[in-house]
Amino acid sequence: MSYFSSRTNLARAPLRQAVPLVGGGELSRSLVDEHGAVLVWLVILLAPFLAHAFSAAPKNFAYQRELVMAGEVWRLLSASFIPFNNIHAALNSFALAMLILLFGVARDARAIVVFVVLGLAVYSAEHLFSGHVWARGMSGAVYGFGVFGALTYLTRLGGFLALTLVTGKTVFDYLGLSPDIEITIGSLVLYSHHAFGAIAALVLVLAMVVGRGLRRNQYTT
C-alpha cells in the first residue's frame, strides 16, 4: 500500500495516522499487523550502544571520506549507527524514541524506511557537499525524521509546532548558538548533519506531494 492512502480508508483510522499538512492528503497508516516493525525499531535504537561496545565497529562502519571514495560506500548507510560514546548514543536514541512515540509509528514499517533513507541522504550530502573527512551518529537522520513527521504524522497545529521547534533548533545549531555538548559526546558537533537531515526531509515530502499529484492526474485523465 502506498503512503498516500485514500480518504475512505483514512476515515476509519485514528487521527494520529492522518497527514493533513501534505497537500491536504493523508500519508501513512500504522501497519498494526506488522509486529516486526517494533523489533526493528528496537534494533535501531540499541544499535549505537552495541556498536560502541565493539572497538572494530568505528573502523569498519563509520564515515571516512577517503574510504568511501575508495569504494566502501556502505559507510554512507552504516555511519548513522556508530556513536562516539554511550552518551552520544543515548542522546540520539532517546530523541528518536520520543519521535516514534509522538508520531505513533512504532508499528509502521514505512516509517523505518523513511528513517533509513534520511540517514543515507544525510551522509551522501555530507560526502558531496561538505569537506568533513569523518562523521558518525544518527543526529542528522533524527532531525530529518522530526521534520518529516511534523509534516506528515501530526495534526495541523501539532505539525506546525513540531516543525517550528525542529527548524529553529537546526538554525540555532548552524549558527553555533546551541549549548556546547562537544565535551559530553567526546567530539566536535557537525551541525551540517542537522541541516542536511532537515533539507532531506523537506525534499522527500515535496517529492511525495508531487508524486501524489501525478497519480491524481492519471486517475482523472
| Residue range 9-38, pLDDT digits in tens | 332 333 333 343 333 334 444 444 467 899
Could you tell me the maximum CA-CA distance found in the chain, to the nearest angstrom? 59
- Residue 84 sits in which domain range? 33-220
Q: How far is CA 19 from the centre of its chain?
A: 17
| Residue range 141-198, pLDDT digits in tens | 999 999 998 888 766 666 777 778 777 777 777 676 666 666 566 666 777 888 899 8
Q: Between these two residues, 14 and 90, which has the higher pLDDT value?
A: 90
| Segment (H or E) for 71 | none
Examine residue 167 and state whether it is found in any structural domain, yes or no: yes
The CA distance from 148 to 105, in Å, is 12
| Number of residues written out for the chain | 221
Examine residue 74 and state whether it is found in any structural domain, yes or no: yes
Phi and psi angles of residue 163, each rounded to the nearest 5 degrees, phi first: -65, -40
User: How many domains would you assign to the chain?
Assistant: 1
Examine residue 18 and state whether it is found in any structural domain, yes or no: no
**Per-residue CA distances from 119 to 76, 148, 197, 205 (Å):** 8, 13, 7, 15
Examine residue 26 and state whether it is found in any structural domain, yes or no: no
Examine residue 2 and state whether it is found in any structural domain, yes or no: no
**Per-residue CA distances from 121 to 145, 168, 204 (Å):** 12, 21, 10
Examine residue 64 and state whether it is found in any structural domain, yes or no: yes
Q: Dihedral of CA 99/111/58/76: which sign?
A: negative
Examine residue 151 and state whether it is found in any structural domain, yes or no: yes
User: How many CB atoms neighbour CB 85 within 10 A?
Assistant: 13
C-alpha cell at 1: 500500500
Examine residue 62 and state whether it is found in any structural domain, yes or no: yes
- Domain of residue 38, CATH code: 1.20.1540
